Structure 1
Amino acid sequence: MHRALRTGLTLIIAAVGSLAISMLGVPGGMLMGGALAVSIAALSGFPATMPNGLRNVLFVCVGLSMGANVAPDTLQLIGQWPTTLGALALELVVIVTICGIVLRRLFRFDAGTAYLSSFPGHLSFIMALASTGVGNPRQIVIIQVQRVMFLTLFAPIGALFLPVGHYSGGGSELMDLTTLAMVAAGCALVGWGFTRLKMPAGYVLGSMAFATAMKLTGHFDGSLPPILVDLTFVGMGALIGSRFAGMTRAEFMQAAFGGTVATAITVAITTVFAFGASFFVSMPMGQIWLGLSPGGLESMGALGIALGYDTAFIAAHHVARLLMLTIAIPLVVMLVKGRQPLTEPSESPETR
């Protein structure tokens, strides 16, 4: 099947899923539905795909949307961020330690696979290290993608039980098309620059940085066209679901149970820390949860937009998480390599 046709069908599947779930009134249904529909199709054998060029366009749109939804009192609330950033740092230590132990002791993964699967984020960095012989790359990628997928699917459901934000950073009037085109062009250019500098999620962070700076300095106002936001959600859902393409159901099930348990533990720990932090800062718990959540910046940023939370807070905490993991992952890998002769090998075919 031609790649363009596969891409078109992937987007159609995502659109159908998005519309179906959004009709149920679930917050973030456009994103959740597309991700669910495409993931099911991919695991059923459909060759879902999202070209890199289209992916980058989606990342620019996510960054633009996040910048346009920055809360006007963000600068006043920055003073509260050290509290939640401290909670984030402690949370990461607890997540990696507990999930690593559970995957090793209960599911008999080798130490490399267990701990690299437990890190909440920096998948490309983790896979690069796994390719050097630390852990089982197939199991790691299944567990890591499964984590992002589950968070994307179930965070909106959890939001049904939490107060949902009602702030729309752009205001009630739509941004005029000329301003939108100029801001979008600037977002794309800065995103490209961030990517050339090898910054993680460069297109998202670069475009958000530009849009946020332009908004806070009064260079644009107004909300984005709803159709653009909805198309971004559909595309992001298709992108998340397409990551399961090429995985057989047997491969998925081999690591899925352990991944499900690890994800449940991670969500529970995040919820505890978010609840605790909510006593010390004046922010909605749902917003704190998204900031501390171990999901991808793109996915959690999109959910922040859909749920009406301050996207500057969410983005800052996810960037901080990536920076913390950049330091922590190599340290843990060195410890794992030092103890590797003492670990039990994984029972997967690839490590026998």
Structure 2
Amino acid sequence: MADQSTLPFPWPGLALALGIGALGGALFWWLNVPLAWMLGAMTATGLAALLQVPVHLPNRLRNPFIVVMGAMLGTSFNGDMLGGLRDWLLPLAILVPYLLVAGGSAFLYLSRVAGLSRPTAFYSAMPGGLVDMILMGEKAGGDPTTISLMHAARIFLVVMLLPVLIQFVTGADLAGRSANWRPLADLGLIGAAWFAVSALVGARLGRLLHLPAPLLIGSMLVSAGLHASDITDFQVPSVILAGTQVILGAGIGCRFAGTSPARILKVLGHSLGATALLLCATILFGLALSHQTAIPFAEALLAYAPGGLAEMSLIAFTLGLEVPFVAALHIARIFLTVSGVTLLERAWRRR
């Protein structure tokens, strides 16, 4: 396989992805859809991929926006949050049975109802660790392409359905919050400088410390430290927030590019059943957690949702919920999923 760094940059596919994604985001914003710019871009580029339009969004473009998003998420931190860390112990403890119930039910559905092979169904059902699941699934005899598409479809469906579910159940107005435009001029030169420090230093620090999702977590931690210590109070302008949402949404939609329409529809059909089971488990555990603690149901729902770390954190940020809590639960989910599957794989090989 050729080194990705030596391949020519896919300018035509990138231009199509950004153009189609921006148009989709603008349409959803005009229609007042929740989380309009991300959902619109994701839907538009996903449909383009289904219609065999050669959209493409490489990680080397997506990564800088992940860094920007981390710095943006860090603005929701404050010093008072540190005192509530002990309240996270119960949600973290409940995470283990949640993963067993959610992953187990999705595996049974994919293997017995969808008819996937056991290795393919198992690694497709795990709610987290995309790259690890693909590599381990292929090693165990599963189909890596199907596993990759199943995880892409899961994230696509969760990001599509969850904002609507939260708005329906809780009455929260995701669209209304995004309509509160923050001008670019409000950032100022000093704010822009601290924003750049958070992004650049954080990305470097995340890689040096080998953090999970280093670009996102590193920049978020640096920005959080600056805000919690009252060194700066910069807030990210709405145009940067909208652009980041378009990039994230288009990146999800472009994951289906190069796949035949029949296969995309088949995978989406299988994933719809598995994702429904995962979301049912999420709702049940979220209700139990909000009943036993003071954590709002929307916050618990986002914390357990089987979606991407960046996407779920962004929804929490848009809703004004506690981003550190949601991000911490997702980091723990990914760690527990990958480590648990690794231990199971070693046990199977010994047998």
TM over 0.5: yes
Instruction: Render the CA deviation track for 1:183-216: whole Å, top value 9, x for unaligned.
Output: 3233223223323554331100111111111110
Instruction: Render the CA deviation track for 1:298-334: whole Å, top value 9, x for unaligned.
Output: 1111212222211111111111111111211112334
Q: Which moved more, 1:91-100 or 1:132-141?
A: 132-141
Q: Which amino acid aligns with 2:59?
A: N
Equivalent residue for 1:119, pick from 126, 129, 132 = 126
Residues of 2 paired with 1:83 and 1:61: CA distance? 31
Instruction: Render the CA deviation track for 1:64-92: whole Å, top value 9, x for unaligned.
Output: 11101236642232221112112222111
Instruction: Tell me what 2:252 maps to.
Output: 240
Instruction: Tell me what 1:140 maps to.
Output: 147
Q: Which amino acid aligns with 2:327?
A: A
Answer yes or no: is 1:262 the counterpart of 2:270: no
Q: Which moved more, 1:2-11 or 1:317-326?
A: 2-11
Equivalent residue for 2:43, pick from 18, 31, 36 = 36
Instruction: Tell me what 2:34 maps to.
Output: 27
Residues of 2 paired with 1:219 and 1:9: CA distance? 41
Q: Residue 291 of structure 2 aligns to a residue in which SS? A: coil
Q: Which moved more, 1:326-335 or 1:91-100?
A: 326-335
- Contact 2:78–2:224 (Cα < 8 Å) also in 1: no
What is the percent sequence identity of the aligned residues?
26
Residues of 1 paired with 2:20 and 2:347: CA distance? 44
Instruction: Tell me what 2:21 maps to.
Output: 14
Q: Which moved more, 1:253-262 or 1:180-189?
A: 180-189
- Contact 1:45–1:248 (Cα < 8 Å) also in 2: yes
Question: Structure 1 2/56 Cα, relative in aligned 2: closer, same or farther at 3 Å?
Answer: closer
Instruction: Tell me what 2:301 maps to.
Output: 289
Answer yes or no: is 1:303 the counterpart of 2:315: yes
Instruction: Render the CA deviation track for 1:161-189: whole Å, top value 9, x for unaligned.
Output: 21438999xxx994423322333233223
Q: Residue 95 of structure 2 aligns to a residue in which SS? A: helix
Give me the CA root mean square deviation. 2.3
How do 1:77-226 residues align onto structure 2 when only pairs under 5 Å count? 77-161=84-168, 162-164=170-172, 174-226=186-238
Instruction: Tell me what 2:71 maps to.
Output: 64
User: In proportion to residue count, which structure has more helix?
Assistant: 2
Residues of 2 paired with 1:264 and 1:332: CA distance? 25
Note the C-alpha offset of 1:24.
Answer: 2.4
Instruction: Tell me what 2:60 maps to.
Output: 53
Aligned residues: 336
Residues of 1 paired with 2:210 and 2:234: CA distance? 32
Answer yes or no: is 1:314 the counterpart of 2:300: no
Instruction: Render the CA deviation track for 1:206-242: whole Å, top value 9, x for unaligned.
Output: 1111111111011111421111111111111111111
Q: Which moved more, 1:70-79 or 1:209-218?
A: 70-79
- Contact 1:134–1:337 (Cα < 8 Å) also in 2: no
Residues of 2 paired with 1:336 and 1:96: CA distance? 18
Q: Residue 292 of structure 2 aligns to a residue in which SS? A: coil
Structure 1: where are the runs of 5+ without partners? 340-352
Q: Residue 160 of structure 1 aligns to a residue in which SS? A: helix
- Contact 1:26–1:160 (Cα < 8 Å) also in 2: no
